Structure 1
Amino acid sequence: MKRYLIASLCLLLLAACTRTQYPLSKPQQAFYQSMSSLCGKSFSGKVIFPADGKDPFAGAPLTMIVQTCSDTVLRIPFWVGEDKSRTWVISKTAEGLQLKHDHRHEDGTPDEVTMYGGIASTASTEQEQRFPADAYTAELLPAAATNEWTLALSPDGRTFSYILKRDNQLRFRADFDLTKPLE
């Protein structure tokens, strides 16, 4: 119940953020604008790492949909086959660009493990934003306290990558082909 209340509070705060303008660093603003330019489009992807086929996502079609875009929030559903429970939420906040993972059940209620993520580090660039796990994530998922998520656009603009590291070790990478939007 406590996690549900915290997740609900996070969603309320996210909604409040959509009404407030927060200045971002130049690299964060450029990245946000690049992602916003994809609004309304869907892209297919594939698991790059681990390449051994043992990842639960291996072999399943991956789809990202840059679905909801405002001046302060991007919502990007991430589908794994028929599983439509995940949405990446990129928000402008007072601390900088934020990534949260919104997990939902089929009926729309929040999963017990939801809204984890972090604030972009200052080491981020116009093409690559790195999000170390925040305190909420560390409390919710102690094993994920050292997580770092990276959202990256290739320099040629052809690929979007979602990358997860834990303890500075690559755990997951999916690449999405931005040259062929899905119908």
Structure 2
Amino acid sequence: MFSKKKILVLAAFSLAFIIAIIIRNTEKYEANRVVAGHFYSELYQHCGAAYEGRIAANNHTYPFINDDQVIVAHIRICRRDRMKIALHVLSSNGKLWDRSRTLLITRSANDLFELRHLNRQMDGRLTGYSMYGGYSSGSGRNGIQQFIAYEENDIHDSWQIEIVPNQRFSYGSMKNGTWIFRVDFDLTAPLEELPPPPWGIDGNNREGMQEITLEDGRTILITCQI
């Protein structure tokens, strides 16, 4: 039988242990929140801007991506918990634009992220392979989020988005920690002329749009609901 004194000592140790766990989890949550917030805010500040990108890594697994292609990322829609980035891909002959792809990034209440790919036909209908993507494995690292694929396949097991402030924004897919392909977008040179809306989006629909003035004095109209 334990004496009353031993019971009190054990209770004190148990309480101290529980408090230590609570403090550690609170500190971890706060650190995760800061990292996730940094990543999202770095992307958010580019809302309404478009940037030209080039292929920085390519193992040629995807037949529709060539090393010489130009890809434009237009950060079109920005909300507190959701962001849409339209990808416009110029054909290798420089004559046709593929405006079918949009990245949808969603931020959850616990500061995790989900990445989905919206793929549309020219009439705006989603394709049969649309909405694929993955969830972030954690809060990420400063400026980096990795999204683990819903279902692993022979081509890739994750996607990754990186942002280096005032330098580049990168997007691509990975397999076993190695880039399958990666596009680097130049954040130092925002495009003066924004691309048209993605396929199926009515460019004349001004609902929910906001006029903002950029640092260089240009005024643009963007969808940026808060």
Task: Judge same fold: TM > 0.5, yes or no.
Answer: yes
Q: Which amino acid aligns with 1:174?
A: V
Deviates more, 1:55-64 or 1:108-117: 55-64
Deviates more, 1:124-133 or 1:88-97: 88-97
Deviation at 1:123, TM superposition (A): 6.1
TM-score, normalised by the number of residues in structure 1: 0.75
**Residue 45 of structure 1 pairs with residue 53 of structure 2:** yes
Deviation at 1:93, TM superposition (A): 2.3
TM-score, normalised by the number of residues in structure 2: 0.62
Number of residue-to-residue matches in the alignment: 153
Deviation at 1:60, TM superposition (A): 2.0
Could you say which structure has the larger radius of gyration?
2
Task: Give the CA RMSD over aligned residues.
Answer: 2.3
Deviation at 1:142, TM superposition (A): 4.4
Deviation at 1:44, TM superposition (A): 0.1
Q: Which residue of 1 aligns with 2:149?
A: 133
User: What does residue range 163-182 of structure 1 map to in structure 2 within 5 Å?
Assistant: 163-182=172-191
Unaligned segments of structure 1, at least 5 residues: 1-22
State the SS of the aligned residue for 2:188.
coil
Q: Which amino acid aligns with 1:176?
A: F
Q: Which amino acid aligns with 1:170?
A: W
Distance 1:143 1:94, change over 3 A: farther
Contact 1:159–1:178 (Cα < 8 Å) also in 2? yes
Deviation at 1:98, TM superposition (A): 1.1
**Residue 68 of structure 1 pairs with residue 83 of structure 2:** no
Counterpart-to-counterpart distance in 2, 1:113 and 1:75: 18
Aligned match of 1:32 in 24, 29, 40? 40
Aligned match of 1:149 in 159, 163, 170? 159
Contact 1:123–1:130 (Cα < 8 Å) also in 2? no
State the SS of the aligned residue for 1:31.
helix
User: What does residue range 115-134 of structure 1 map to in structure 2 within 5 Å?
Assistant: 115-122=131-138, 124-134=140-150
Deviation at 1:67, TM superposition (A): 0.4
Q: Which residue of 2 aligns with 1:102?
A: 118
**Taking every aligned residue pair, what percent have the same amino acid on both sides?**
27
Q: Deviations over 1:63-110 (max 9, x none)?
A: 000001111110000111100000011111246211111111111111
Counterpart-to-counterpart distance in 2, 1:51 and 1:168: 14
Q: Which residue of 1 aligns with 2:221?
A: none
Deviation at 1:132, TM superposition (A): 0.6
Q: Which amino acid aligns with 1:152?
A: E
Q: Deviations over 1:20-76 (max 9, x none)?
A: xxx972211211111110000000000011278x95322221100000111111000
Q: Which residue of 1 aligns with 2:103?
A: 88
Contact 2:59–2:180 (Cα < 8 Å) also in 1? no
Instruction: Give 4+ residue runs of structure 1 displaced > 6 Å after superposition.
Output: none
Contact 2:33–2:139 (Cα < 8 Å) also in 1? no
